[in-house]
Homo-oligomer: A and B are copies of this chain.
Amino acid sequence: MQDRILLAHGSGGKLSHDLIEKLFLPNFDNPILARLDDSALIELETGARLAFTTDSYVVSPLFFPGGDIGKLATCGTINDLVMSGAKPLYMSASFIIEEGFPVADLKRILLSMRKVVEESGVKIVAGDTKVVGEGAADGIFVNTTGVGLIPEGVHISGANAQPGDMIMVSGTLGDHGIAIMSQREGLEFASSLESDCAPLQGLVARMLEASPEIHCLRDPTRGGLATTLNEMAAQSQASFLIEEEKIPVRDEVQGICELLGLDPLYLANEGKLVAVVPPYAADRVLEAMRGHPYGKASVVIGQVLSDHPGRVIMKTTLGAHRLVEMAVGEILPRIC
């Protein structure tokens, strides 16, 4: 382990996982944390099953095409709850603000948060504000922590993938990552690109209506699709085979990726999900996804196999097979 924290420790990829495995789990070991799903699953004595999840948001710039830190912070935590099959109910919001931050910007951020929670039926019931001196933070950081209720009969975990399951994504990949990067780097030609940032409770509710037997759900945020699939392959001890030509990427995103040497598989998404669904339910779930505004471009991208447990393999457009690894370095710091 390094002596100093690196940007890549916050990438969501390999070094983030190292930090969790070498520092966090040894100190806070308990079966709930050790599941390493997007949300913790808490079973109360009263029988209720709660989903519980936290994220701090440090995105830069604070305002970007398609959203801002407030929209991101509310969508992100709602989506983490939803990825456990929970109905998101309550949220806390905690702000660390740099002295001198414009109140008008704070108002814009709060209004974005309000729109998302109103759309999702979530209530912000607890909050906190800290202010630090000029130069001790970069504008504003937002933490949101959410609580949801998991309906009976729903059992979703990254550990539940079974050989034969179909792997689906709910739309184009990399939009958030490229929107942030374009804004940051002042890439004018990319000005039409927007972040996909969106709350996914409605989409998932429809998928669960179509089939409560969905095995895994996860939103490919930091670290992108490649990291998300690797996490689930490791948790499930199965192999994930995906086909490059089926992975939906916008032409503009593909173009910028080629220009800058980026791989859309590793770019962050904030309004997309990966679903792993048993084959007999796949058509119904896919149809339900396509019927929802946030899932119109849903497609099957591959299948779960048993031959290389813990591995993600991609059949390239040329017909070759290559190993898809978890993100190692940090491509785009402060993407969320």
Contacts and interface: CB of A to CB of B under 8 A. Distances in A.
Interface of A: 1-11, 16, 19-20, 23-24, 27-28, 30, 32-33, 39-40, 42, 44-48, 50, 52-58, 60, 89-90, 92-104, 106-107, 110-111, 113-114, 117, 123-133, 135-138, 141, 143, 145, 147, 149, 330, 333-334, 336
Given A55-B94, A127-B33, A101 B145 contact: no
A143 to B, nearest CB: 4
Contact of A3 (B95, B104, B113, B114): B104
A17 to B, nearest CB: 11
Contacts of A102: 3-5
B48 A129 contact: no
Given A54-B128, A56-B96, 12 more contacts: A4-B100, A4-B101, A5-B101, A5-B102, A16-B129, A30-B123, A32-B125, A45-B149, A46-B46, A53-B92, A54-B127, A58-B96
B90 A42 contact: yes
A97 B10 contact: yes
Contacts of A20: 127, 129
B129 A10 contact: yes
A219 B110 CA distance: 28
Contacts of A19: 129
B56 A103 contact: no
Contacts of A98: 5
A99 B5 contact: yes
Contacts of A30: 123-125
Q: Which 5 A-B pairs have the closest CB atoms?
A: A10-B131, A54-B92, A145-B145, A40-B125, A136-B138
Contact of A5 (B16, B103, B113, B123): B103
Contacts of A117: 28
Contacts of A45: 48, 149
Contacts of A97: 5, 9-10
Contacts of A44: 44, 46, 48, 149
16 contacts: A3-B103, A5-B100, A5-B103, A10-B130, A24-B110, A27-B111, A28-B123, A33-B127, A40-B125, A42-B90, A44-B44, A52-B147, A54-B145, A56-B141, A130-B336, A131-B333
A136 B60 CA distance: 10
Nearest to A57: B130
Given A52-B92, A92-B52, A131 B40 contact: no
Contacts of A127: 20, 24, 28, 33, 54
